[in-house]
Structure 1
């Protein structure tokens, strides 16, 4: 196998060549990683609330207060995804918030925050706590 160093613009890369002349696509990988990194750092992902055209979902848990009247003034908020359980403990505000959110017309979802231990027991506990309706989004 022969190795060569090629300078391409401001980049230089070592390209491995086999006897059949196939090249390892190092530069393609570098450009792909660069593109993925820069798009993940764009305001669209880091600060979606600043774009008036993006729908928002909020993610509360029992220690967050929700001002339902103020929330209703932002028409971009379309869904609430609530942490219903953590390990073997239920969020005390889950039921009342689910009822209020659905009454106000929000899409509703719930998720389980897993902890070390028996995953099947935790999943069963989550499902028993949430009692999901057909239109609820659930995530374990």
Structure 2
């Protein structure tokens, strides 16, 4: 296994200013940004930041914050708003909703299935305690969610613990929210922020993102 690289951050409109030149200069390779939530909220900073990040050669991803509503309808709203191309990483943010009904496992399955139907690929699943509580120790693997890569949130320990059996391993690990968890917490051009380790090397990260290697190029 290649080294676990620390080159991905995630952002939303809550981060009011971002300097993508400084972000790239600090060694960040990929940015995953909030696009939508529920059935009607869209992050107004998403499109402009996508263009800014890509002009600087950064990998771009989009996530949807799930709520307790029809999963297929949420997927339609997300895809229409985020407008992902083949090199946009797509993710369902599956966690407890502090302002209303929380998405259920069945609604998450609806979302994942609908995204695959529209795009031809499965999204990643971001979660922490919620997915551990619901799928921890559960076998056999969930027939739908097992198609997703796992982006796990855990702000303690040298590595993610208690990965549900539905997932063979973790792919991304959000190890800090910019305050809690091990260092480093900061990124130039952003400050304290969510940072993520990838369970592999740069070539594997680009493969996850859908970036095709140029003919003759060597993996790193």
Q: TM-score, normalised by structure 1?
A: 0.58
Taking the aligned partners of 2:90 and 2:56, their CA distance within structure 1 comes to 19
CA deviation string 1:25-65 (max 9, x = no partner): xxxxxxxxxxxxxxxxxxxxxxxxxxxx8332111101102
Between structure 1 and structure 2, the one with the greater Rg is 1
Structure 1 ranges of 4+ moved more than 6 A: none
Taking the aligned partners of 2:60 and 2:21, their CA distance within structure 1 comes to 17
Residue in 1 that maps onto 2:75 = 123
Structure 2: runs of 5+ lacking an equivalent: 93-220
Residue in 1 that maps onto 2:13 = 62
Write 1 or 2 for the structure with the bigger share of strand. 1
CA-based RMSD: 1.4
Taking the aligned partners of 2:7 and 2:24, their CA distance within structure 1 comes to 12
Structure 1: runs of 5+ lacking an equivalent: 1-52
CA deviation string 1:88-140 (max 9, x = no partner): 21001000011111111011111110011121111100000011111111123
Q: What secondary structure, in the 3-state scheme, does the structure 2 residue paired with 1:85 have?
A: strand
Aligned residues: 87
Write 1 or 2 for the structure with the bigger share of helix. 1
Taking the aligned partners of 2:5 and 2:79, their CA distance within structure 1 comes to 31
Residue in 2 that maps onto 1:93 = 45
Q: TM-score, normalised by structure 2?
A: 0.38
Q: What secondary structure, in the 3-state scheme, does the structure 2 residue paired with 1:111 have?
A: strand
